[in-house]
Amino acid sequence: AAARKAEAEVAPSSGKPPVTKDSIINLDHGDPTMYEAFWRGGAGERATIVIPGWQTMSYFSDVGSLCWFLEPGFEREVRRLHRLVGNAVADGYHVLVGTGSTQLFQAALYALSPPGPSAPMSVVSPAPYYSSYPAVTDFLKSGLYRWAGDAKMFDGDTYVELVCSPSNPDGGIREAVLKSGDGVAVHDLAYYWPQYTPITSAAAHDIMLFTVSKCTGHAGTRLGWVHTNFVPNHLKFEQILAQCDWFFWHRWALVKDRAVAQKMSKFIELNTIGVSKDSQLRAAKILKAITDGYDRAPAAAVAGDDDDDSSSRLFHFARRKMVSRWAKLRAAVAASGIFTLPDELPGHCTFANETVSAYPPFAWLRCGKEGVDDLEGYLRERKIISRGGGKFGADGRVVRISMLDTDEAFAIFVDRLAAMN
């Protein structure tokens, strides 16, 4: 009977195995399991959806719209969340959905590559850069674009600069370092949420990538989104069009602001024929639960109040966690004496309406101990898996450590770190 019952139910996988005091602690990936405790509370019920067998069957979500596979409910909740947080201007931008922001990053490279035969476009980012940028750019050996390394060392004309702010791996606030006329910046704002950094203004860049993974912790839904209203240089024919009649100009203006959005949408059509509707509906419900939570208890009204009930307010829950984890990490680093961390960066957060420090999702941990030139290897011998500086265009005496794992794994990690000397 038990076997029949198990067969009748489709249970989700349990994810990562639990850790014990002697386990290998893997903090290589930024797997946001830290958020599970929040969603296990009342918020989890409010984010539940049921999809009957006859729903979400068609390929299409919104036939006739630029992003025909975008669920209108998901788009609505994305815009609503940005209005609540104030981290990005959403009005006037096209919203596209992707299978994680990883797919949208590739769609952006495809859309921004110059048309016609030419040398591959260079893709750069200032070191230390997110380790997936070179890997994802080059794994298919595309003729359209290729990884060209550290933006600060780049000397060329046609490029895409990836601007990750707050930065993965080091948490710094970044702006584009290249300014050439033919270059384009793609802003990866995966971590521009109030639990990680003060929200100082509503970002309004040409192409902005976001992901559910690091905002709500639902990396497994594989959903990202992009805001764009971008027109590449080769479409800027205003001077020519100024001589054309009004009607033609008007139509052109409508078409041209869709140029990059349309090409990104085409990439996703060719790559995966759209994006899972089931995931979009679930993500819409999750984002709705967050925004609704703040409708019930607005952010600024409780700023600084440590006794508030954060069970319905995700960013408050997550920020409190980050504050506590960073305090424990800094204490462990002080106890050990062989490590250093980047300084805390405070700023005024318009969302919380108070001055707060940044609490990056990764610790960029440096070791000053004599003879430790391969910090990743040094930590691995002590059963801690991290990602070495070399993968980010930095040196081997620094590693990236995820701050978003489970409480249990994090507690064992700081204990082990404190004892190293």
Q: Which is nearer to ligand PMP, 107 or 199 (CB)?
A: 107
Q: Which is nearer to ligand PMP, 103 or 158 (CB)?
A: 103
Query: Rounded to an integer, what distance in angstroms lies between the CA atom of residue 190 and that of residue 226?
Result: 10
Q: Closest approach of Cβ 128 to ligand PMP, in Å? A: 12
When the beta carbons of 105 and 230 are compared against ligand PMP, the nearer one is 105
* Residue closest to ligand PMP, measured at CB: 100
Nearest residue (CB) to ligand PMP, 213 versus 312 = 213
Min dist. Cβ of residue 54 to ligand PMP (A): 29
- Shortest gap between Cβ of 248 and ligand PMP (angstroms)? 40
Provide the 8-state DSSP code for 272.
H
Residue 263 vs residues 10, 209, 294, 364: alpha-carbon distances, Å: 38, 15, 36, 36
The pairing of strands 207-211 and 223-228 is antiparallel
Shortest gap between Cβ of 316 and ligand PMP (angstroms)? Answer: 22
Q: How many Cα atoms sit within 13 Å of 85 on the Cβ side? A: 29
Q: What is the DSSP letter of 169?
A: T
Q: Which residues, other chains included, contact 35 with Cβ-Cβ below 8 Å and sequence gap of 6+? A: 216, 217, 218, 314, 318, 404
CB of 99 to ligand PMP, least distance (A): 8
Nearer to ligand PMP, 171 or 224 (CB): 224
Q: How far is the CB of 61 from ligand PMP (least distance, A)?
A: 19
The Cα 150–Cα 161 span in angstroms is 10
Report the alpha-carbon angle 96-97-103, nearest 5: 110
Q: Closer to ligand PMP by CB, 47 or 190: give it.
A: 190
Q: Which residues bind ligand PMP (CB under 6 A)?
A: 30, 100-102, 130, 164, 168, 188, 190, 211, 213, 219, 224
Contact 146, 136 (CB under 8 A): no
Whether 221 and 279 have beta carbons less than 8 Å apart is answered as yes
Contact in structure between 390 and 241 (CB atoms under 8 Å): no
How near is the Cβ of 144 to ligand PMP at its closest, in Å? 20
Q: Residue 398: beta bridge partners?
A: 366
Nearer to ligand PMP, 104 or 302 (CB): 104
